[in-house]
Structure 1
Amino acid sequence: MPTYDLKPEISIKDYQDAWNGYEKIKSILPFTGEKKVIAIECYPGVDLEELENQLLEALPHASLVCSDDYAYDAETVTKKIQRTLTDDRVFGVMSHYTLDEFFPKAELKKIQQKIARFDGMTVIYGTGATIIASTPDVLIYADLTRWEIQCRFRSGRSNWKADNASEDALRKFKRGYFFEWRMADRLKQNLFPKIDYLLDTNIPNEPTMISGADYRKALKHVTEQPFRLVPYFDASVWGGQWMKEKFNLDPEKENYGWAFDGVPEENSVRLRFGEVVVEVPSINVVHQFPVELLGEKVHARFGKEFPIRFDYLDTVGGGNLSMQVHPYVEYIQDKFGMTFTQNESYYILEANENSTIYLGVKDGVDKDEMVADLKKAEQGDYRFPDEKYINCFPVKKHDHYSIPSGTIHCGGPDTVVLEISQTPYIFTFKLWDWGRVGLDGVPRPVHIDHGAENINVDYNTTWVKEQLINPFRTIQETTNYKEEHTGLHELEFIETRRHWFETEALVQSHDSVNMLNLVEGEEITVESLDNRFKPFTVHYGETFIVPEQIKEYRLVNQGNSKEVAVIQAFVKVL
C-alpha cells in the first residue's frame, strides 16, 4: 500500500545552481576582493554561533559586525513589548512592531559611521543586519522554519534578545508568535526582491543555498501546481497511536497527538534543486505571491493570510482532548488583535465503538452555574461534572461536525480527527482538562475567564442536532461519482465538499485556494486539464493544496480501492 510521504518535495527545473555545506558555500560567496559590505540577515532563531564558527571564521581579513550587539538589551526589549507579551502563559496581543524600533538610533549611527571607515570587506550578520546596512553590496538571507525554532526553544534556546533559556516552551512560543515572527516577516517581505542568496539553516551544520533569483522563481513555481507542505508531528497528554502505524512514524515515541500537515503559517516547503534541497517556511509563498496562490477574491478579503487549516488529532489508545471553546470575532479582535477567529470542524477519519465528541451544552443549562463548577474544578480536588452540562455524542468514520466559535467542544477517545478550520490556530480557551498536567509536568493552562465570555448556551442540544451534526447534502450524483456538501456551518466562511468516485472526479476551485485530503482510498493523482502541471500523486491521509489560479482539475483513482473519497475546503465567496 502506498505510504504517507513525510518529506514531500517540489522539484525545481529552471535554476542556475545550488550549493550544500559550508565549504561549497564559502567558495561561492564573494568574501574576497575590493571594499564591500555583505549583510547576512537572520531570521530570529538562526544559530549565530554556527555561522561564526563555520562560515565567518574563514574571513581573517574581514571586519565582522554582529547586528544583535547593537539592538537594545534583553531587559529593555522585554519591557518595551510587555503589552504585547502580557502576563498570560499562552496568549499575547498581536504586535505591529518593526525591527528598526529595537535599535537605538545613536548606537546605530555610531556603528554605521565606523563601518564607513573600514577598509576592505565588512560582514554584518544577525537579526537586523539590514537595519545597520540597508543597501549592502551583497544580501544573504538566512531563513529557518517555525517548527525548527520551536524545537530549539524546547532544547533550551532563548528567544531573540531575551534571557529566557529556562522559561517554559509555551511562553517562548508566545513571544515568537505575537512578536518576533511578525516583526521578522515584515522585514523579510521587504527584502524579498533584494535577496542575492537564500541560506537554509534548518539542519545544524548542514546548510544549503540558492541564489535570490532562483529562490524567487521557485516560490512562484510553487503557486503554479498542486503541492504539499512538510508535515510535523508532536506528542500530547491525550495523544494516540494511529498515526504511528499509518504514517510510519517513530514507533519508540510514546504517542503522537498532533499532525500539522496543512498550516502554511507553521509548515514549510521543500524545494529540490537537483541534488540540493532547500526548505523554507511556506508562509513565504503566501507573503510573496498571495494572488496567485489564494486568488483575487480571497486575497481581497484576507490579505496575505492563508485562511484554511488542516491538521490531525489522534486519540486512539489515548484520552479526551481538553474541553474548550473558541472566541467570537469581536473578542479575538479586541483582546488579541487578530482579524478573524478560529471556527472549525471535526471530520472523523477513524473511530470505534468508544469514539465520541462533546459538542454544545445541554438544553436548559445555566451558564453561571456551569462556569462556577469549571472554576471549582480548576482549583483541584473536584471533577467537573461534564455529563451534567455538555452533550456527548457517539461518532463514526466519515462523520463531520461543524464547530462555530462559541460552541463548547471536545474530542473523545479512540478517534482520529481531521480538523478543518480557520487559521488562527492557538486561540483555544481550555475550560476543563480532566485534571491532567502537561508532558512537562506543569498543570496545563486553562482560560475560564476568556472562555466564559465566549460560551454560547444557545448552542444547546436541540440546536446542535439541527445545525452541526453531519450536514450532508448531495450536490450531484452519477453511477460512479457523488459530490456532497459537508459543511461548515453557515456562520463559518469555509465550505467543504466531499467527492466520492470510482475512476475520476472533475473539481472546481470556486474562486478560492483549495485545501484537500484523501480521506478514503490508497492513492490518487491530481491532473491538469491543459497540461499546465505534471500529474501530482497523493496518498491516503495526505493534505494537499491547489492554488486558485488552477480553476479546474481532475482527481484520478490510481490505487486498488474500488472507491475513494477526497474532502475539499475553500473560502465561500460572499
Structure 2
Amino acid sequence: MVVKDIKYAIGVDIGGSHIAAAVVDVQYRKIIPETKVHSKLDSHEDAGIILRVWLECIKQSIKKSEGLPIGGVGISIPGPADYDKGIVHIQGVDKYDKLFAINMRHFLTNELAGLLLYPDNVFFINDAAGFLLGETWSQYLTEEKITAITLGTGIGSGFMKDGLLLSDDDTIPDHGELFNLPYQSKTVEDWISTRWFLHRYKEQCGYEAANVKEIADQAATDSNTRMIFEEFGSNLGTVLSPVLAKFGTDLLILGGNISKSYPLFKATFEEELGEVTPRIHFAKETENAAILGAVKNILAMNEMDFNKRNTAQFLMPVNREEKQLEGYDVFPSFEISEGTVSQGFESLARELSSYKKVCIDGYVGVDWDYLMGGLSEALRQLGVKNITYSIDAAYKDADVIDAMIAPFLGGDDPVFGRLYEGDLEDFFQRDKLESLVADDDCLSIVYGSGASLCNWDAKLVYVDIPKNEIQYRSRAGWVRNIGAQKSISAKPQYKRMFFVDWPVLNRHKQNLLSAIDFVVDGQFLNDISWCAGSTLRAALAEMSTHAFRARPWFEPGVWGGDWIKNNIDGLSDEVVNYAWSFELIVPENGIVISKKGVNLEVSFDFLMYNDHQAILGDAAKTFGTDFPIRFDFLDTFNGENLSLQCHPKPNFISEQFGEKFTQDETYYILDAADDANVYLGFKEGVNKDEFHQALVKSQQEGKEVEVEKYVQTHPAKKHDLFLIPHGTIHCSGINNLVLEISSTPYIYTFKMYDWMRLDLNGQPRPLNIERGMANLNFDCQGDVVEEEYISKQTVTAEGKGWKVVQLSTHPQHFYEVYRMEFNDQIHVEGNNQCHILSLVEGSKVEVVTGDRKMVVAYAETFVIPSNAGSYTINNLGSSIAKVVKSFVKPEVCNYES
C-alpha cells in the first residue's frame, strides 16, 4: 500500500516503565502538545495487560485530537525486535519478557480499526533509530553522516547517511548497536549506563543514590562525585572514538537523561575523541524526538515499493469457472470427490474461532504478515480476541545459523552447495521455544516455519506455497531464508533455499502430514484457499489411483525461443522468450486440487509423503519418497544454442552435493525446424588437454571456441531421441523444442562454454570448466556416438490401428522410453509401475483410469500412478495420436538404496 496524504499521525515512545503517545502534525513536524499522553506500566506484567496499557494510551491520544484524521501509528520501542514485522524479540532482560514473539502490529492494527484512516498503517522502529530520525527530521539537520547516542538506562545508538538510517554497513557496528560491543572485559553497556553510575557512586562514596540526577547535583560541589563523571566521559570517548572515526561522523547527536549532565564529562569525553570530535547537537527532549521519529518512519514506509512478485507470469486464480479449454491448460486441477475446498479468511476464521490455541506452520516464502494480518482481522470481525506469536523470534542468532550452514553453501560458488543433512530443530534455540507461552485469556496463535516445534497442544494449520511463487517473491526481495534477518539477492538466496531450506522444510512437512488439521494455499496476494487436513489426505489418496497433471510453470532464458509462446495459450506475452517449461520437475512443481471451482495448490512432495508406494509401485523401494523421473521442455525455436555442458558422475554428485542419484538425461525432439541439430559427443581423436585449454583460454581471454572442431552435431527431427548419460558433452542447437526425459536432479549442469554471451540481466553466466572436465566421458566420441547415444526405435507390439515403439536408452539410464501410436484407442497395463507421459503428436486424448476420465491436450505431461493399474487412452483428435511414456526399468526396481 502507498499512502501519500498523511496530515496527522500518532507517535509512540515505549520505555521500560512508561509509554508516551502524541499526535504529530506532519506538515509542521511538531507534536500537538494537548494530545500528549503518558502512562506508567509494569514491564513484568502479562502480555495482555501490557498491550492493553499501550492500546489505551494510544486511544486517549487519538481522543484528545478531537477528530483529526489520524493516518497511522508509529512506535519507537527498544530491541531486540523484528521492526519490519512488529515482533518483539526481548528475552531475559527483566522487562517485557512476556511479549516475546508477539506480533504487536497485528494486535494494534486490529484493535485500532475504525480509529485510523489507514488501519494497516502501523509501523515500528528501534527507539534509538527513532530518536535519530525524529531529531534530524524535526530540527532539519542535514549533515551527510550523523551518529546519535542516547545515554540513559543503557546506551542506544543510530547511524544515518544522506538522510537514510543504516543498520547494515561495513562502516558501523553490527546492526548499528554499541551496547553489546566488548569493552574492558565486559560490554559497553556495563560501563555506559545508569547502573554503572549507581554502582560506581556507591563504590566511591559508600552509599546509594536513587538516580544519576542525584549524583549530578552533588558533583557541582563534590570532587569525588565529579570524578565519576570524568571517568564516564573518558570511557564514553574511548568507546566512541573509533566508531565515529570509522563512520566519518559529521554530526553527533546526544540525547537521554545522562546527556543533560554533559558539562560534567565534556572535558574528558572530548579529550578522548581528539581530532575525530564532530559537531555535537544536544536533543532537548529525547522522548519527543522518538515520537517524531516514529511518525517519520510511517512516512518512509509508505514511500517504499511493496511489490511482492517480480515476474510477468500470471498468478493461478483461486476461483476458476468450469470451462473446456481447446489446447494446453497452464492451470490444470484435480476435482476431488470428498470434502470441500474453501475460499477466504472469514471461513477459516470461523473454523478456528472455537479453539484456544492454534499452531500455523508452513514453508519458506509465505507472506506471514499478510496471512496472519488477514486471519487476525477476520477473527476480530467475529468478536474473537487473539494474540499472534511469531516463531521467528525463537531462531538462533543469525550469525550462529550462518556458521552452522556455511559448509553446505559452497563458499563463493554461485551455483552449488551440498544438501543440508540436519533438521529444522537445528535452527531454533530451545529456551526461546519454551518462552513461547500462550495467553489463556484469548485465542493464541503461533505461526511461521517451524511453529509446531513449540509443542503447543493446538490445532495444526499448514501453509504451503508453490516453488515458482517463492522464486518470484525472492526476486522481488520479499523472502527471507530460514533464520535470516533480511532478504538477500535472488541467486544466492535460491542456492541457500535449494541446499538448506527446502530439504529441511520438506522433512518437516513429511513429519507433519498425518497431523495437519487444515492446509492453506499461501500463494495468493489478496485471498486464501484452504481445506481440512483429512480432505487433503483423501485427495492425495484419490490422486494416487488416477491420472493427473502437475501444475507446470514457465521461465525465460538467454537461449529461449518462441515455440511455447506461439503454441501455449494462457501465458504472459510480456517476456522476451520462454526457455523452460517445468512440466514435471517434482521438487519444483505443485498439484492443484479443486472443488466447485475453488483451487488449492500444494507441493507434489505431499503425494510422495502420503503414500510413495501407491505412486511408484515396484520402484518405491529403490527411490523412497524421491520421484525418479522428470519431463520438461527446452525451447530454442528462433532462440540460441544451450551452453555446452555435461552432468556429474554418480559418485561425484553424491560426494560433492549429497544427491542420491545423478542427472542422466535424454532429449526427445517434440518439434524441430529443418535446420535443427543437437551437439552430442566428441569427434574422433579429440585430445582432452587440448579441449581443456581451449575452454580455459576462451574464459580468460574472451575468445570464441570453435566448438564443432571438438563436438559432433547431429540433425534433429521430430520424435528423435538423443541419449545423454552423465559425462556426455552435449547441448541443444537452435530451432528445437526438446522434451527432456531425465532423472529428476535438474540443476547439476556443468556449463563449460556459453557462446560468449551474457544472461538476461547482462551478467556472465557461471562456468564450471574444471568440474566438467572431471566428469567428461571422452570415450563418447567417433562412431560410438551414433551407435550408443542416438536411440534406436523398434516396434515391440502392434494391433489394428495401434503400435508401441521402444526407444532404446543407454545402459546408464535407469528408465525406459516408449511411444504409443494409435488412431482410436490403446489400452496399457501399468505393471505396478508409475508412468510419466506426454502427448507428443495429436490434438487431444482422453485418459481413463478406473471411473475417472481426464482430457490431455498436445504437449501436456501427465502421470499414471502405480495404483491406477491399467488405463485406456482414447484419441479425441482427427489424426494419429502419439504418446511418449517413461518408467523405471524393471531391473532397477525393488532395490533398496
Mark yes or no: TM-score above 0.5.
yes
Q: Does 1:62 align with 2:379?
A: no
Q: Is the 8 A contact 1:380 1:435 kept in 2?
A: no
Q: Is the 8 A contact 1:306 1:423 kept in 2?
A: yes
- What is the CA distance between 1:537 and its match in structure 2? 0.9
- For the residues of structure 2 that align with 1:219 and 1:188, how far apart are their CA atoms? 15
Task: Evaluate the alpha carbon distance shift between residue 306 and residue 489 of structure 1 in structure 2; reply closer, same or farther with a 3 A threshold.
Answer: same
1:151 to 464, 472, 475: 472
1:172-224: per-residue Cα shift (whole Å, max 9, x none)? 11111111111111111111111111111111121111111111111111111
Q: Does 1:357 align with 2:675?
A: no
Q: Does 1:229 align with 2:550?
A: yes
Higher mean displacement: 48-57 or 199-208: 48-57
Q: Is the 8 A contact 1:4 1:542 kept in 2?
A: yes
Amino acid at match of 1:189: Q
Instruction: Show the counterpart of 1:559.
Output: 877
- For the residues of structure 2 that align with 1:251 and 1:191, how far apart are their CA atoms? 40
- For the residues of structure 2 that align with 1:107 and 1:253, how far apart are their CA atoms? 46
Amino acid at match of 2:585: V
Instruction: Show the counterpart of 2:224.
Output: none
Instruction: Show the counterpart of 1:102.
Output: 427
- For the residues of structure 1 that align with 2:372 and 2:822, how far apart are their CA atoms? 56
- For the residues of structure 2 that align with 1:170 and 1:224, how far apart are their CA atoms? 38
Q: Is the 8 A contact 1:510 1:570 kept in 2?
A: no
Q: Does 1:548 align with 2:866?
A: yes
1:238-296: per-residue Cα shift (whole Å, max 9, x none)? 0000111211133332100100111222111111122421111112111211011111x
- For the residues of structure 2 that align with 1:570 and 1:522, how far apart are their CA atoms? 24
1:451 to 755, 772, 776: 772
- What is the CA distance between 1:535 and its match in structure 2? 1.9
Amino acid at match of 1:540: Y
- For the residues of structure 1 that align with 2:825 and 2:405, how far apart are their CA atoms? 53
1:280-313: per-residue Cα shift (whole Å, max 9, x none)? 1112111211011111x21100110100000000
* SS of aligned partner of 1:13: coil
Q: Does 1:194 align with 2:489?
A: no
- What is the CA distance between 1:380 and its match in structure 2? 4.0
Q: Does 1:173 align with 2:508?
A: no
Q: Is the 8 A contact 1:22 1:206 kept in 2?
A: yes
Give unpaired runs (5+ residues) of structure 1: none
Q: Does 1:90 align with 2:406?
A: no
- 5 Å-filtered alignment, 1:126-165, equals 126-132=448-454, 134-157=455-478, 158-163=480-485, 165=487
- For the residues of structure 2 that align with 1:461 and 1:521, how far apart are their CA atoms? 36
Give unpaired runs (5+ residues) of structure 2: 1-324, 892-897
Q: Which has the higher contact order (CA 8 A, sep 6+)?
A: 1
Instruction: Show the counterpart of 2:403.
Output: 79
- For the residues of structure 2 that align with 1:72 and 1:380, how far apart are their CA atoms? 46
Instruction: Show the counterpart of 1:273.
Output: 595
Q: Is the 8 A contact 1:63 1:118 kept in 2?
A: no
Q: Is the 8 A contact 1:476 1:482 kept in 2?
A: yes
What is the TM-score of this pair, normalised by structure 1? Answer: 0.95
* SS of aligned partner of 2:444: strand
The structure that is helix-richer by fraction is 2
- What is the CA distance between 1:379 and its match in structure 2? 2.1
1:498-531: per-residue Cα shift (whole Å, max 9, x none)? 1111111122224321000000101111124xxx
- For the residues of structure 2 that align with 1:235 and 1:385, how far apart are their CA atoms? 27
Instruction: Show the counterpart of 1:21.
Output: 344
- What is the CA distance between 1:63 and its match in structure 2? 3.2
- What is the CA distance between 1:164 and its match in structure 2? 5.5
- For the residues of structure 1 that align with 2:866 and 2:831, how far apart are their CA atoms? 8
- What is the CA distance between 1:120 and its match in structure 2? 3.7
Amino acid at match of 1:353: D
- 5 Å-filtered alignment, 1:417-436, equals 417-436=738-757
Higher mean displacement: 532-541 or 564-573: 532-541
Instruction: Show the counterpart of 1:217.
Output: 538
Structure 1 runs, 4 residues or longer, greater than 6 Å off: none
- 5 Å-filtered alignment, 1:393-472, equals 393-472=714-793
For the pair shown, which has the larger CA radius of gyration, 1 or 2?
Answer: 2
Amino acid at match of 2:385: H
- 5 Å-filtered alignment, 1:216-295, equals 216-248=537-569, 249-295=571-617
Instruction: Show the counterpart of 1:42.
Output: 362
Overall identity of the aligned pairs, in %: 36
- What is the CA distance between 1:371 and its match in structure 2? 1.1
Amino acid at match of 2:375: L
- For the residues of structure 2 that align with 1:447 and 1:94, how far apart are their CA atoms? 19
1:429-457: per-residue Cα shift (whole Å, max 9, x none)? 11111111111222101111111110011
- For the residues of structure 1 that align with 2:621 and 2:611, how far apart are their CA atoms? 13
- What is the CA distance between 1:365 and its match in structure 2? 0.8
- What is the CA distance between 1:166 and its match in structure 2? 4.3
* SS of aligned partner of 2:718: coil
- For the residues of structure 2 that align with 1:185 and 1:94, how far apart are their CA atoms? 12
- 5 Å-filtered alignment, 1:332-411, equals 332-411=653-732
Q: Is the 8 A contact 1:266 1:283 kept in 2?
A: no
- For the residues of structure 2 that align with 1:253 and 1:175, how far apart are their CA atoms? 27
- For the residues of structure 1 that align with 2:828 and 2:491, how far apart are their CA atoms? 40
- 5 Å-filtered alignment, 1:521-540, equals 521-528=842-849, 532-540=850-858
Q: Is the 8 A contact 2:667 2:722 kept in 1?
A: yes
What is the TM-score of this pair, normalised by structure 2? Answer: 0.61
Q: Is the 8 A contact 2:544 2:868 kept in 1?
A: no
How many corresponding residue pairs? 560
- For the residues of structure 2 that align with 1:74 and 1:150, how far apart are their CA atoms? 22
